[in-house]
Amino acid sequence: MHSIPAYFTHVKYGLVYACKVISSETRERILDAAWTLLVKQGRLDVGMSEIAAAADVSRQTLHLAFGGRAGLLLEMARRADKRSHAGQRMRDAVLAKDDGVASFKIYVEAWVEHLPEIYPVGALLSAARDTDPAARAAWEDRMEILRSGFARILRRAEAAGRLRANVGAVAAGDLAWSMTHLDVWRHLVVERGWAPEDFAATQLGILTRELFAGARR
């Protein structure tokens, strides 16, 4: 039987990392510690050393396991997606077999519900993307997942003749993605004090009127 190497080479976001094989228990402990410090306590300035200490691992182990801060943040966001009820509603909406209209509403509302859950992680990735190639790639990975979900739902609407005649699924998806973007949510909800439900209702109302045939303008 071949033994599992302690370290292996891993390519992520075009960068090469030496990644340490760690147990699932250790991996979860690191993610739990990072989530407590960054999200529950809202401390966006927490460093890798403090996260490592809270998880009772070395800083080197943390870096080798996740490939750096961007890799850790991305795994935190992905785990939040899997555990979130809102995230599951988004996945169900993407895979639904309807004409896209009802699923679009569910997808928007679930995404806005999910935003506060992942906002601290998303804010850190967004802030680091201009100077950190790995953070930029991780951020783009997250945004592509959201954008592709909108596109799949709106392609169903287009095929069913539910989009306005002058609106294509790709452009409609881009518009929906941009209007519900984390940065827009931050400007209006975090900075301007909008209630999350008002943000969801306003953006959904505008998008419904502009994208779907028969909707009142």
**pTM for this entry:** 0.78
pLDDT computed for residue 84 by the predictor: 86
Q: In whole numbers, what is the pLDDT of the chain averaged over residues?
A: 85
Task: Give residue-wise pLDDT tens across range 66-119.
Answer: 888 888 888 888 888 888 899 899 999 999 999 999 999 999 999 999 888 888
Give, rounded to a whole angstrom, the gap between the first and last alpha carbons of the chain.
67
Task: Give residue-wise pLDDT tens across range 29-66.
Answer: 999 999 898 877 777 678 889 999 999 998 888 887 88
State yes or no: pLDDT of 181 exceeds 90: yes
Q: Please give the distance of CA 206 from its chain centroid, rounded to a whole number.
A: 23
Domains of the chain in start order, with CATH, are: 7-67 (1.10.10.60), 84-211 (1.10.357)
pLDDT-derived band at 131 (thresholds 50, 70, 90) equals: confident
Are the beta carbons of 160 and 129 closer than 8 angstroms? no
pLDDT computed for residue 96 by the predictor: 96
Cβ-based burial of 50 (10 A; exposed 0-12, middle 13-18, buried ≥19): middle
